[in-house]
Amino acid sequence: MAEMLEVSGITKRFGGLVAVNNVSFSVREKEILSVIGPNGAGKSTLFKLISSFLRPTTGEVRLKGERISGLAPHIAARRGVVRTFQETTIFKNMSVRDNVIIAHHLRSKASLFGFFLGTGTAKADEAAFGQSADEILALLGLSSLANETARNLPHGHLRALGIAIGLATNPSILLLDEPFAGMNHDETMRMVEMVRRLRERGLTILLVEHDMPAVMKISDRLVVLNFGQKIAEGTPSEIQANEKVIEAYLGSEDEAIGL
């Protein structure tokens, strides 16, 4: 399988603190790869580096061979690297459907001025976005809530909406920031199913996560961080047997890594 995303020798320093230290790995096409690690391991920083929300001190991120690190976030999104957010980051005062429609921004063929004038291209864009938004909402089981104001959604649906927004940009790789955080067992299982369905549609997925059982269930491969360094990489069974990983999670190893 071809490599979709390549992280090579990436380091991020905040003053004297090295949050991410010389981490390299790659994500293959149509793969689900998870980055895990104890609290403070540098997962979130790595996530922001890959989505270009942070600029690496050294090292680089490449998408299909093209360098994307150091670009502005909206340019990285344009190239096909799109992230979701950990917290319930949505456009609160818009309807669910409008949230998804606006996220089609990158697909628009008409210019802003074209939208102002209401040209034929702009109208065609609007129609296409509406249709695509309805499909995405159906895929994520949000159709019945399409006209609800986003801020009124219950927690689980909010996260699904976050993913719907990400999907609408038509990314090459979707980065999910702790998609299972704060969910109960049933919700987690539903989300696992949802992520699998996305992969079946041909999407490559990188996720950063805390919830070990879910991660073990869903991932093709895992990358384990500890104190900013990569300590292991491999399939779920390889990771579960890895001594360094067990050591990093010492104290609660059995439960935490899902043994």
Q: Which residues bind other proteins (CB under 8 A)?
A: 51, 53, 72-74, 77-78, 82-85, 89-94, 98, 101-103, 105-106, 108, 112, 115-116, 118, 122, 125-126, 165-166, 168-169
Strand partners of residue 177: 208
- Give the shortest CB-135-to-other proteins separation in angstroms: 17
Could you tell me the smallest distance in angstroms from the CB atom of residue 166 to other proteins? 8
Closest distance to other proteins from the beta carbon of 66 (Å): 16
- Compute the distance between CA of residue 105 and CA of residue 204 in angstroms, rounded to an integer: 21
Secondary structure (DSSP) of 33-62: EEEE-STTSSHHHHHHHHTTSS--SEEEEE
Residue 92 vs 196, nearer CB to other proteins: 92
User: Which C-beta is closer to other proteins: that of 92 or that of 244?
Assistant: 92
Closest distance between other proteins and the C-beta of residue 38, in Å? Answer: 26
Element (H, E) at 219: none
Sign of CA pseudo-dihedral 51, 74, 2, 161: positive
Q: Which is nearer to other proteins, 125 or 209 (CB)?
A: 125
Min separation Cβ 203 and other proteins, Å = 16
Six-digit token pair at 39?
Answer: 């609290």
Q: How far is the CB of 139 from other proteins (least distance, A)?
A: 17
**Nearer to other proteins (CB atom), residue 91 or residue 227:** 91
Coil/strand/helix, residue 134: helix
* Alpha carbons 204 and 172: distance in angstroms, whole number: 7
- How far, in Å, are 18, 19, 50, 52, 93 from residue 15 at the CA level? 8, 10, 20, 19, 38
Which of left, alpha, beta for 64 (phi over 0: left; psi -120 to 50: alpha)?
A: left
Cβ distance to other proteins smaller for residue 89 or 229: 89
Report the nearest approach of other proteins to the CB of residue 159 (Å).
Answer: 13
User: How far, in Å, CA of 134 to CA of 142, rounded?
Assistant: 9
Residue placing its CB nearer to other proteins in the complex, 122 or 256: 122
Output 130 or 258, the one with its CB closest to other proteins: 130
